[in-house]
Amino acid sequence: MNGPANDGGARRALVDRCGDLLARACLSVAATALIGIVAVNGVNVVARYVFGSPFSWGEELMLFLMILSVFAGAIAVTWRNMHIRIDTFIDLAPRPVRHAAMAIGTLVSIVAILVIVHASANIVSVLYQIDQRSDALELPSWIPQSFLTIGLAVIALLMAVRTILAIVRPAAVPQESGR
């Protein structure tokens, strides 16, 4: 049957598939970054204790990879709605109050995140313009700084998508995924 209700379900399924694909891709990026950290750390230990000369850039690269893994993982956690929250009092509230409180909390979170995204985007722009580079790797500083900007922007977008889906069809949006 091709009606508005079926079309809405198809759109929701497409959004869910895209979100799931993005979450899997971000988890792959986070896992690869963590494997890179372990590899750099292992090689640096060997270089230090066997050859007496560790890589000067090892710590810096591991830090950048950690930042990347945190924000990539946070995107997946946001899409899967698995973030840590304390909702004891909200769980005791009637269903309409619970939904309103969750929506208001999400909207406040989105606004706060977007304020940080705006400030971070300004910093990334300045770092790009002045071509500031990291100390050991000589990597343009705007690249690791952009991990925060892009990660939080995607998180805000995913929170908005989840909220819109919950408002349009509240019964079809799961409270939590993966638990």
Q: Average per-residue pLDDT in the chain?
A: 89
Q: What is the per-residue pLDDT for 170?
A: 57
Q: What is the per-residue pLDDT for 173?
A: 46
Q: Which two tokens stand for residue 39?
A: 């590899």
Q: Is 49 or 171 the better-scoring residue by pLDDT?
A: 49
Q: How many residues does the chain have?
A: 179
Q: What is the per-residue pLDDT for 1?
A: 45
3 has a pLDDT exceeding 60: no
Q: What is the per-residue pLDDT for 171?
A: 55
Q: What is the per-residue pLDDT for 176?
A: 52
Average pLDDT, stretch 50-70? 95
Positions of E strands within 55-162: none
- Checking 169-173 for CB contacts under 8 A at 24+ apart, the result is 169/8, 169/12, 170/99, 172/9, 172/12
Establish if 27 belongs to a structural domain. Answer: yes
**Domain around 62:** 4-172
Q: What is the per-residue pLDDT for 9?
A: 77
Which pLDDT band, with edges at 50, 70 and 90, does 107 fall under? Answer: very high
Give the count of domains, the chain.
Answer: 1
Characterize 19-50 residue by residue with b for buried, 16 or more Cβ atoms within 10 angstroms of its Cβ, and e for exposed.
beebbeebbebbeebbebbeebeeebeeeeee
